[in-house]
Structure 1
């Protein structure tokens, strides 16, 4: 099929031309049609990343994810390609970041310290702990604690948004279940993990709940959330980090209880 004829095809016909006839011109048009997904996903991930991470590199890896999505997508199943492509693009970018080992060990250690501190203090007091209590526990000033939160912000980018199943939109936020697990009790685990997440969200401060809701459910970027809440982007980043680390602590505690009871 020549390029002029391919350019006249509608959306469904483009998929048919590429998948059934192997028409490279149709594939090229599909890539161009969905490039906005790469721009959107790479833009969201770029917020809070170190300056040494090039936005151009993020986009380049995202394009590879988009091409992979177009190659593997089964258009006959009636699924939303945008959702599938978003996870593929996001996954390609995150894989490139992980392979580049862009997070220093010191930052990973700080994230683990904060997560453990939230877990232990909130288990001890059975309530949401303040920044002051966290600072005292970690033996740092509140200013240093806020700086730590800013540093570990890059560690929380993919904590709740990673897809559990390919080609679908379920994430840890919605399922919280290991799809590869063969244990027949996995449904019970899923129930308790959901319960743990609900309880964990319930312990967040109102601002933290708002950030999580706007980011993961309303699909706003951190900069957009900053405008909505009339706070600085750095403050939103800190609130996001605290929320994610609290939730991770809650889920980690739940996993330990499940393992202990097995």
Structure 2
């Protein structure tokens, strides 16, 4: 659902364009606190819309109501800093502020030890290095040896990373050594805007990602396909593969780490 459709569904909160212009004028020229409150209430549904979109990419234990609370701070800041004289829609400006506020708050609440984050980055880097050298995806045994770890220790690390994974929407992903880095936010489409350059960037990223997925080990490829394309849960995928849900979680985490290592690596790896 687009924001315009969402806003039409909350027509009671929406104001006429002329009334909005008057509210902006009263607030910006006279610092009218009542006008400010009216503006915040008018655009409050935008926070719910953004929080709902973001919540679908976060773990199940993250409450949407918490995201709305974080996003309201971003909306208030957007109202305070917005310049109605610029040729920019307030909604476009506010979305970035709301998303940023939610992401900042989630990061401040991050419960994951730095050692886990560092180990995740180390596995990503080592996986990309080994794949570039071997011209294929490294096995668990090869990765564990390269990291100076026992196989059981490596698999325990994968499980720990899996249990602490949150995808940051502003995390940068490099599509190639010479390309500009993209963030996940950059790849989320906006039906109100048609920008050929953005469409090209998204197309390149999707093609690169599809190529990287095609080079995953078979079981990891199946997990990615069933999880992201068919919408199966980890438990359902475990039933399909005949393994435990925990094992599927490990396969999923390894696939994501391999993909991140490839997309962030300096060179591309030829397919076997």
TM-score (norm 1): 0.57
Say whether residues 1:98 and 2:107 are aligned partners. Answer: yes
Distance 1:226-1:8 versus aligned 2 partners, 3 A rule: closer
Alignment match of 2:43 (pick from 28, 31, 42): 31
Cα distance, 1:76–1:159 mapped onto 2, change above 3 Å:
closer
Give the corresponding residue for 1:117. 126
Q: 1:206 aligns with which of 212, 216, 221?
A: 221
DSSP 3-state at the match of 2:137: coil
What is the rounded CA distance, in whole Å, between the counterparts of 2:227 and 2:171 in structure 1?
10
Give, in whole Å, the separation in 2 of the partners of 1:118 and 1:145: 14
- Partners of 1:252 and 1:126 in 2: how far apart? 17
In the alignment, structure 1 residue 245 sits paired with structure 2 residue 257: yes
* Residue number in structure 2 paired with 1:153: 165
User: Aligned pair 1:17/2:32, yes or no?
Assistant: no
3-state SS of the aligned residue for 2:183?
coil
Alpha-carbon distance in 1 for matches of 2:103, 2:15? 32
Superposed, which structure 2 residues align to 1:165-204 within 5 Å? Answer: 171-173=182-184, 199-204=211-216
Shift of 1:147: 1.0
Any gaps of 5 or more consecutive residues in structure 1?
1-6, 163-169, 177-189, 215-223, 256-262
Larger Rg belongs to: 2
Q: CA RMSD in A?
A: 4.8
Q: TM-score normalized by structure 2?
A: 0.55
Q: SS of the counterpart of 2:136?
A: coil
User: Structure 1 residues 118, 39: CA separation in 2 closer, same or farther (over 3 Å shift)?
Assistant: same
TM-aligned CA deviation for residue 115 of structure 1: 0.8
Tell me the secondary structure at the aligned position of residue 47 of structure 1.
coil
Residue 143 to residue 237, structure 1, CA distance change in 2 (3 Å): closer
Q: Indicate the residue corresponding to 2:7 in structure 1.
A: none
The answer on whether the counterparts of 1:212 and 1:243 sit within 8 Å (CA) in structure 2 is no
1:181-231 Cα offsets, whole Å, 9 max, x none, are xxxxxxxxx9xx9686665455345346548966xxxxxxxxx94459944
Deviation per residue, 1:151-208 (Å, 9 max, x gap): 4413x4336589xxxxxxx9425879xxxxxxxxxxxxx9xx9686665455345346
Shift of 1:111: 0.8
SS state of the match for residue 74, structure 2?
helix
The CA distance in 1 between the partners of 2:103 and 2:170, in whole Å, is: 11
Query: Within 1, Cα distance between the matches of 2:83 and 2:221?
Result: 39
Q: Which runs of 5+ in 2 are unaligned?
A: 1-11, 28-34, 174-180, 188-200, 239-244, 268-272
